[in-house]
Amino acid sequence: MLLEELAEDLVSGTSDLLDGRTVNVMNTEGYIVASTDPLRVGTFHQGAREAVLRGKPVDIPADQVSRYPGAKEGCNMPLRVGGQIVGVVGINGNPPEIRYLAHLAAVYAEKCYQLEALVRPQYAQGELRSILLGKILARTEKSLSDAQALLRAQHIGLDLPVTVALLSGDGQVPMDNETAQREVDRLLAAGSLRQDRDVWGMADGSLVLLLSQPVPCLDALEHTALRLSISLPAQTLWDIQGAYRKTVLLNSFSEDRINCLSEPRTRLKYTLFISAMENRDVLEDLCLRLEGEMSEQDLRTILKTAQCYYQNDRSVVQAAEKLYIHKNTLLYRVHKLLEALDLADAGAFRQEYTVRLLLEHYKRKHGLRAL
């Protein structure tokens, strides 16, 4: 029962409000479920039982205590929520002197009960969606069958194809549940997340959103202080796990805060990273060759120069301006790198492709998002 679960908090909260007076919380059967006097917990309180039966406060003066087994001098106020009595709060003391305090305690307890009753279904919904997300990402026949049953039971119309969005903190520290809930609340208020169509939850320290088609405006989603990676649409429930893994991988290496695989630049970056992983043995040989020919500082400087050069479509002027160096300095560094890689006489495409793969390998090798 909710009252029993809240009773200890209600007792401590109301006791603080009432300058440490003895406070009891009783259930509708008249049994004390929490008290500032631990010895009274679990005992029967006739005054509380009569407050429930009468539906109104019961005062117990000192000279009438014997008429109420298990009770002491004080006031006992029924707790009403939605017109229904859910329990009783009792304050020890002379009734005329403490009646207003007992009323204050009852109002406090009722508000706490109402708030908890309101929040718990939302919390339960969040827990349920996290379970649902886990079933989908597990991607077994059993888990996907369970997921479909949960979707039907909760009337969530997850419409395919589904876009996966992954939000994470900036760094290696996992996102905490409070931060995730604030982000969910923000997206729900903005209409970028929909209770009846989308699924969300925590996975490996990140907030994962499964967004039904058509995906609502992404402006609110992208207007976040968190790192964000967005997948291409997954056509089936089975495909969602693969889309999720791509967002995790993209989030792990990209230097950009927002990454969307529907954008050509992001797709190229992702493809280069995958290619670099597939050809890491060859790229490691090239990397070792460069490390043997120049110092670590010189190598990083040259690689950063080449990266800027290719990111600016081989524009010497634009790249030199961004690096605050002379054009001839930029050309010298790029040419030195190509010579060291035996690519000085190769075609422009082969040069750029090899250098871009090398850049991805070098960053991954040294745990860098950017040079």
**For 2-118, CATH number?**
3.30.450.40
- What gap in Å lies between CA 35 and CA 7, rounded to an integer? 8
**For 155-262, CATH number?**
3.30.70
| Domain boundaries, given as residue ranges, for the chain | 2-118, 155-262, 276-365
Q: Give every strand in the sheet of 84-92, ordered side by side.
A: 32-35, 23-26, 84-92, 74-81, 58-60
- What gap in Å lies between CA 166 and CA 176, rounded to an integer? 14
Query: Are 203 and 177 in contact, with CB atoms under 8 Å apart?
Result: no
- What gap in Å lies between CA 229 and CA 210, rounded to an integer? 12
| Mean pLDDT to the nearest integer, 119-123 | 51
Question: Collapsing DSSP states into helix, strand and coil, what is residue 54?
Answer: helix
CATH architecture type of domain 276-365: Orthogonal Bundle (1.10)
Which candidate, 74, 71, 24, places its Cα nearest to that of 45?
Answer: 71
pLDDT score recorded for residue 136: 94
Confidence of residue 245 (pLDDT cuts 50, 70, 90): very high
| Mean pLDDT to the nearest integer, 353-359 | 93
pLDDT score recorded for residue 44: 93
pLDDT digits (tens, 9 = 90+) for 66-86: 999 999 999 999 988 767 788
pLDDT score recorded for residue 155: 82
| Mean pLDDT to the nearest integer, 172-200 | 86
pLDDT score recorded for residue 1: 47
Question: Collapsing DSSP states into helix, strand and coil, what is residue 24?
Answer: strand
Does the pLDDT value for residue 202 go beyond 70? yes
In this predicted model, which residue has the larger pLDDT, 212 or 216? 212
Confidence of residue 200 (pLDDT cuts 50, 70, 90): very high
Query: Are 170 and 229 in contact, with CB atoms under 8 Å apart?
Result: no
Does the pLDDT value for residue 152 go beyond 90? no
The pTM score is 0.59
Does the pLDDT value for residue 119 go beyond 70? no
Identify the bridge partners of residue 78 per DSSP, sorted by sequence position.
Answer: 88
User: With DSSP H G I counted as helix, E B as strand and the rest as coil, what are the percentages for the chain, rounded to 5?
Assistant: 55, 15, 30
